Amino acid sequence: MARILFFTPVLPGPTGQGTAIRAGVALELLAERHEVTLVHVDLWTGDRTIADPFWPRRIATCHFVPTPLASDAAAQFVKQHLSAAPFDAVYVFRLVAAPFALSVITLLPRPARTSVLDLDDDECARTERFLALRGGGDSARERAELNRLRGFARIMLMRFDLALLAAQSDLDAIAAQYPGRKFALLPNVMRVPEELPARTPPPGSVLFIGTLDYFPNEDAVLYFADSVLPLLLASRGGIDLRVVGIKPPKSLDALAGRAGLTLVGPVKEVAPEYARARVMVVPLRAGSGTRIKILEAFRFGVPVVSTTIGAAGLDLQHEVHLLIADTPEEFSAACVRLLEDDCLAKTLAANAFAWLRANLSLDRARAVLHPLFEPVS
C-alpha cells in the first residue's frame, strides 16, 4: 500500500460536472488499494448547493485549501498538515493544480518516488479551438495568453514522471510534442449498473446538461437554441428542451421564455433529469478530451444526438450507438427521428449501454490506475 497525496482544483464526486466525476473516479479507485490524502485547492469553485463535501471524506483524509493563495500558502500547509507525513506518490488532477502541488511536494520530509499529472485533455489545443470558434475580440492578447499557456504546460510536464489523458487523439498529439516524456491513456469511465434502467419519458422531452459557463457548452446551447430548435419546433410541436447545469452565464438569460426551452440551471440530482429525457443533445462545436455527458446519458439509457466534435475521442458508430449530426438541419432531423421512433431510440440506448459496460466501466480505469503506484520489486 502506497501513501498518495492527491491534489485537485475541483471537489471530487460521483456526479455533477465532468471534471468532478473524473476526479471522483480517480480518488475512489486509488483509495481501493492505497492510503490517499486529498488536497482540494479551491481553484474551480463549483455550485456549493449541489456539491457533496462529505463524499470524499468517506474515502480519504481531506484537506481544503481556500483561494486566493498567499505567497507562503504551501509552507504553511506543509507545516500544519504534512510536516511529519512521508508520501510515496503524488497525483495531481489538472494542469491548474500543478504549481501549488509542486510547491508543496518540494517541502515534504522526503521526495515521493512517483508523480503523476492527470491532464484530462490537451488544454492548449482546446484553447486554440475555442479562439477559432469564438472569433473577434483581442486576438493578439488571446494569442499571447495561449503562448503563455503553452510555456506553462511545457514547464509543468517536465516536472512529472507521467501524464494521463482521456482521449487517444489528445495523447498522440501531445506526446509528439514531448518525445522525452511518458504519457498514458486514462479514459473517462462510468459507474455502470447491471441492467439498463427502465424509463418512460414524456414525449418531446429533450435534455442538454453540462457546466454552462464552460465556453463550448455555452456556445452549444446558444447554437441549438438559435439554429436547431426553430427547425425542430417547425417539424414537430410539443418540444421541451431542458438546459441543466451549474453557472449559467448571462448570455443565456436571453433564452428565458423562449418557446420550447426551459433554462433549469443547477440541480442537486441529475438522475431525474435523465429519467424524463427522451433525447440527450450534445451540439458542441469545440472541445477536446471526451464528453462525460455522453457516457452519463448512456449509463441512464438516454439516446444521444451529437455533433462529430461532441462525440470525438469515443469509438462510437453513427446509427449504432448514437446519431451524429453536424448541421442544424441534420441535428433537427435526428432529434425528430428519436422522438418519434421508439424502436430506434430503444435500440440505440441498448447498444450504447452495452458498449459502455464493455468498454468504459470502472474496471477500465482500475487497469490503468492500480499499477501506477505499486512498489517496484
Residue of 43, 38, 41, 44 whose CA lies nearest to 26: 38
Predicted pLDDT of residue 138: 59
Measured in residues, the chain has a length of: 377
Q: How far is residue 47 CA from its own chain's centroid? A: 15
In the structure grid, which three cell numbers stand for residue 174, read together?
A: 501531445
Question: Bridge partners of 89?
Answer: 4, 114
User: Helix/strand/coil (H, E, C) string of 85-142?
Assistant: CCCCEEEEECHHHHHHHHHHHCCCCCCCCEEEEEEECCHHHHHHHHHHHHCCCCHHHH
Amino acid at position 48, single letter = R
Secondary structure E strands in the chain: 3-8, 35-41, 61-65, 89-93, 114-120, 162-165, 183-185, 205-209, 240-244, 261-265, 279-282, 304-306, 323-324
Contacts of 325 (CB under 8 A, 6+ apart): 305, 306, 307, 331, 333, 334
Predicted pLDDT of residue 109: 86
Q: How far is residue 338 CA from its own chain's centroid? A: 26
In the structure grid, which three cell numbers stand for residue 317, read together?
A: 458508430
- Delineate the domains of the chain, giving CATH numbers in brackets: 3-189+361-373 (3.40.50.2000), 205-359 (3.40.50.2000)
Long-range contact pairs involving 330-334 (C-beta distance under 8 Å, separation at least 24): 331/224, 331/228, 331/281, 331/283, 331/305, 331/307, 332/228, 332/231, 332/232, 332/235, 333/235, 334/305
Q: How far is residue 147 CA from its own chain's centroid? A: 24
pTM of the model: 0.91
Spatial separation of the C-alpha atoms in residues 78 and 75, rounded to whole Å: 5
Tens-binned pLDDT, residue by residue, of the chain (377 aa): 899 999 999 999 988 788 899 999 999 999 999 999 999 999 886 666 677 889 999 999 999 998 889 889 999 999 999 987 889 999 999 999 999 999 999 999 888 899 999 999 988 888 887 777 776 555 777 788 888 999 999 999 999 999 999 999 999 999 999 998 999 999 999 999 999 988 999 999 999 999 898 888 999 999 999 999 999 999 998 999 999 998 899 999 989 889 999 999 999 889 999 999 999 999 999 876 678 999 999 999 999 999 999 999 899 999 999 999 999 999 999 999 999 999 999 999 999 999 999 999 999 999 999 999 986 55
Taking each helix axis from N to C end, the angle separating 328-340 and 342-359, rounded to the nearest 10 degrees, works out to 100
Predicted pLDDT of residue 67: 87
Predicted pLDDT of residue 18: 86
Predicted pLDDT of residue 289: 65
Is 347 exposed, middle or buried (CB count within 10 Å of its CB: 0-12, 13-18, 19+)? middle
Spatial separation of the C-alpha atoms in residues 174 and 99, rounded to whole Å: 20
Predicted pLDDT of residue 319: 97
Residue of 231, 211, 189, 236 whose CA lies nearest to 355: 189
Predicted pLDDT of residue 48: 66
Q: Which residues of 29-45 are buried (b: 16+ CB within 10 A; e: fewer)?
A: bbbebbebbbbbbbbbe
Predicted pLDDT of residue 84: 79
